[in-house]
Amino acid sequence: MEGTEQAEKKEKKKVILSGIQPTGVFTLGNYIGAVKNWGKMQDEYDCAYFIADLHSLTIRQDPAALRKQSLDAFALLLACGIDPEKSLVFIQSHVPAHSELSWVLSCYTQFGELSRMTQFKDKSARHADNVNAGLFTYPALMAADILLYQADMVPVGHDQKQHLEFTRDVATRFNNLYGSTFKIPEAYIPKAGARVMSLQEPTKKMSKSDENPNAFITILDEPNVIINKFKRAVTDSEKEVCFREGKDGINNLMTIYSVITGRTLEQIEQEFEGKGYGDFKLAVGEAVSEELREVRENFKRLSADKAYLEQVYQAGAQKAAAISARTLAKVKKKVGLLVK
């Protein structure tokens, strides 16, 4: 009886799904805005996390590098606190249902909808020599990622809201045509630290593609590297550590420090009252370095154990395939395909 009650309680948990591309090491922005929260959500929600390797193919990749980056990204998820005993963790390309549902949803997507996607416009401009069909239909695959697992919520940054709205629109259209099939997902946006800015251009989002290596922190940076990057962070000509309009650099550092330490902005202002920016930058750097220490140590241990990683991602793929197959079979039946 107790086991049944526990199972029913688990079934009532909301489902949260999120994926990240294997395009290199996560930045501090990725960590604060997403990954740091993923581990904490495992007890409250049924969580599914995946490495979105299929999405990365819209840009030409070096095959050997992509394989290594995918495995490293998978190890990083585990190093950041994702527990495969609590969460579904897998690699996207290991679950064929993603590609299958993507095709079906593409057939229920209007050309004009895809043409309006800002990410397609941005990437087309940056990669003018490779404006491929996959780049154009990318949102349909993202919608399939989400809808296969009947996700209630998807952690998204402000720049990803458009893709979630697209997913909601396609799911609603399908449901209207064929009856209740997909759950309509909502956005999950952390209230604090959801957007970390560049250390060199604090009006821009922190990005690992930034040409200036001092503009971003990766979660595997060594302590001395982290501290030196924060020492070089752009601030302003004032000396007061306070959060207000026009102080983009300090505002960004205060946000980072607040998320890492749990202190409020007011507490931070009091802590550094009468102190200069040098003291503040050093404190932020030391706090971030210590926060990431366990991640660095976990990653080093996990990445050295290829057999364990393979065991975990194969088990994750089997579980993901079983869950996604239920949704895919329902979709196939409703659109008129013969289900074997």
Q: Give the active site residues.
A: 123, 205, 208
* DSSP single-letter state for residue 271: H
Containing H/E element for 277?
helix 277-303
Burial tier of 268 (Cβ tally within 10 Å: 0-12, 13-18, 19+): buried
Torsion of CA 135, 169, 162, 257, to 10 degrees: -120
- Taking a C-beta distance cutoff of 8 angstroms, is the pair 300, 123 a contact? no
Write out the DSSP string of 280-313: HHHHHHHHHHHHHHHHHHHHHHHHT-HHHHHHHH
- CA nearest neighbour of 278 among 259, 261, 253: 253
Q: Is 237 helix (H, G, I), strand (E, B) or coil?
A: coil
- Report the alpha-carbon distance of residue 314 to residue 271 in Å, rounded: 48
Query: Cα 54 to the chain's mean position, in Å?
Result: 15
Q: What residues have CB less than 8 Å from 112, skipping those under 6 apart?
A: none
- Report the alpha-carbon distance of residue 12 to residue 64 in Å, rounded: 42
- Give, in degrees to the nearest 5, the angle at Cα 245 between 243 and 247: 65
Q: How far apart are the first and last CA of the chain?
A: 36
What are the phi and psi torsion angles at 136 (to 5°)? -75, -40
- Taking a C-beta distance cutoff of 8 angstroms, is the pair 25, 68 a contact? no
Residue owning tokens 């980056």: 69
Q: Is 123 helix (H, G, I), strand (E, B) or coil?
A: helix
